[in-house]
Amino acid sequence: MQLDKMVQFHKAVGDVTRIRILALLKKGPRHGQEIASKLGLKPPTITHHIAKLKDTGMVYARREKNTIYFHLDEKKLEYMATAIIRIGEENFVKNQELEMTEAEKQKIIKNFVTKEGKLKQIPSQLKKKLVILSYFVEHFELGKVYEEKEVNAYIKTFHEDFATIRREWVMQQFMFRENNRYQLNPKEIWPIVIEK
Amino acid sequence: MQLDKMVQFHKAVGDVTRIRILALLKKGPRHGQEIASKLGLKPPTITHHIAKLKDTGMVYARREKNTIYFHLDEKKLEYMATAIIRIGEENFVKNQELEMTEAEKQKIIKNFVTKEGKLKQIPSQLKKKLVILSYFVEHFELGKVYEEKEVNAYIKTFHEDFATIRREWVMQQFMFRENNRYQLNPKEIWPIVIEK
DNA sequence: TATCTAATTAGATATATATTTAATTAGGTG
DNA sequence: CACCTAATTAAATATATATCTAATTAGATA
């Protein structure tokens, strides 16, 4: 699960009113006014909270005549609630498979990077792709915040498809994005380990 | 799990920085400066976040010489993360056992409440206790917020041990507490059902 | 005891968010 | 089409919180 999705989920659940709404929806679909009166709040407040719950995907709406009923998707709730328990595990599993020596790494780099330092193409094999992503991402400094523009500009110095590279960095946990700004993740949570 | 504990937990996890800290602690104990430099933040910021994680109980500290290492308690994390999935279920199970007729209810009330409306004693049998708790809690209005003083004052009109009654109302989900103010919960989430 | 290091506290600032009232929108139904 | 009801949006307010710098505390060790 993506880091920002996880934050969004826990922010959504981290509120007394929204937990009370979830408790009600667990008993079955409810409509806005009903929820408002049961919790002693005004309808706009419920709209506000329901919006946050809907954004996570665990609540959805179905219209019946003039009334909109809100439903709880318990499967999604369960999936998202347990994601935090598995945090880092995907990486850990991958690490086992994705250890390699410095020599192997150099070979892959030599195959995919020109003498001028340009990326010939994005490797399709996961292992090789990760080597390449890690190789180029080392440009960034730990703790420094980068605008999307800066990230794009840097990628363009070695490859034209900046959108793909940027997305892969985030997806593969080399970097993390927070409102369109980027930061390097510590190597410990990168999905690849190079034996020294 | 108590409602406010649940909110506290999800508020704690609902933050990018704290999730990143959890991801680090999952690999093993870390000390403050280490975390700060890995995440590109200053030590006071880490103190701030660690405090919130410690408050939930999922992180604890052990000193080694001059350095304090923070550990993740994965069992607690798992327990708290999954609590939201089970929300209302305890009540639902109880509901099955705790249905009763209006006549039964009246009998219990007659046995425990004096003609003057005073509570003779708090029943020790769960079923009877819940009847008594529900009987007296009906005094409150849905959606209205009560100060602790008001709640105490009302309880004293029928029973001396106001602290126990107040605590039971919250524990049994008849009311909920938020920074020392109290509100009635909707009957739907009460742990008892009276057949009409 | 003096000094070093790691951690915490205090205070300041900027941002986010929970709630309300008033106004508006969106679908039904006569 | 006119009207009704439920839901949403807008704007305002109050509260909470994430982060930093500067100052302080707490232990360890020489």
Is strand C within 7 Å of residue B38 (CB)? no
pLDDT one-digit tens code per residue, A53-92? 999 999 999 888 889 999 999 989 999 999 999 887 754 4
Integer Cα distance of B196 and B105 in angstroms: 11
User: Are B77 and A88 a contacting pair at CB < 8 A?
Assistant: no
The reported pTM is 0.67
- Return the DSSP state at A119: B
DSSP code, position B119 = B
A51 touches strand D (CB under 7 A): yes
Check if the beta carbon of residue B58 is closer than 8 Å to that of residue B76.
yes
CA distance linking residue A14 with residue A17, whole number of Å: 9
What's the pLDDT tens digit per position in A139-164?
988 777 888 888 999 999 999 889 88
Structure-block tokens of residue B106: 């009246």
pLDDT of residue B71: 93
For the CA of B18 and the C1' of D18, the distance in angstroms is: 11
- Cβ-contact A49, A67 below 8 angstroms: no
Q: If you average pLDDT over residues A122-130, what whole number do you get?
A: 84
Whether B87 sits inside 8 A of A40 (CB atoms) is no
What is the rounded distance in angstroms from the CA atom of residue A172 to the CA atom of residue A140?
16
Short-list B21, B82, B84, B86, CA closest to B50: B21
Burial-class residue A75 by CB neighbours within 10 Å (0-12, 13-18, 19+).
exposed
Distance CA B52, CA B70 (A): 13
A32 Cβ contacts chain D strand, under 7 Å: yes
Q: Which chain B residues contact residue A189 at CB under 8 A?
A: 23-24
Strand order across the A181-184 sheet? A145-147, A181-184, A175-178
A165 versus B90: which is more confidently predicted?
Answer: A165
Beta strands in A50-163 (DSSP E): 59-64, 67-72, 99-101, 145-147
How close does chain B come to A196, measured CA to CA in Å? 20
A86 to chain B, closest Cα gap in Å: 9
At A195, is the secondary structure helix, strand, or coil? strand
Q: Is the dihedral of CA A176, A1, B90, A19 positive or negative?
A: positive
Nucleotides of D under 7 A from a protein CB: 4-11, 16-23, 26-29
CA distances B111 to A21, B75, B120, B132, B185, Å, are 36, 45, 9, 10, 26
- Chain B: closest CA distance from residue A72 (Å): 11
Q: B174-196 pLDDT, tens per residue?
A: 888 776 788 888 777 777 666 65
User: Do B14 and A10 make contact, defined as CB atoms within 8 angstroms?
Assistant: yes
Chain B 137-166 contacts with nucleic strand D (CB below 7 A): none
* pLDDT tens digits, one per residue of B29-44: 999 999 998 888 999 9
The 3-state DSSP class for residue B64 equals strand
Name the residue in chain A with its Cα closest to that of B9: A14
B179 touches strand C (CB under 7 A): no
Please name each of the domains of chain B with its CATH number.
Answer: 3-77 (1.10.10.10), 99-195 (no CATH)
- Asked if the Cβ–Cβ distance from A84 to B81 is below 8 Å, we say yes
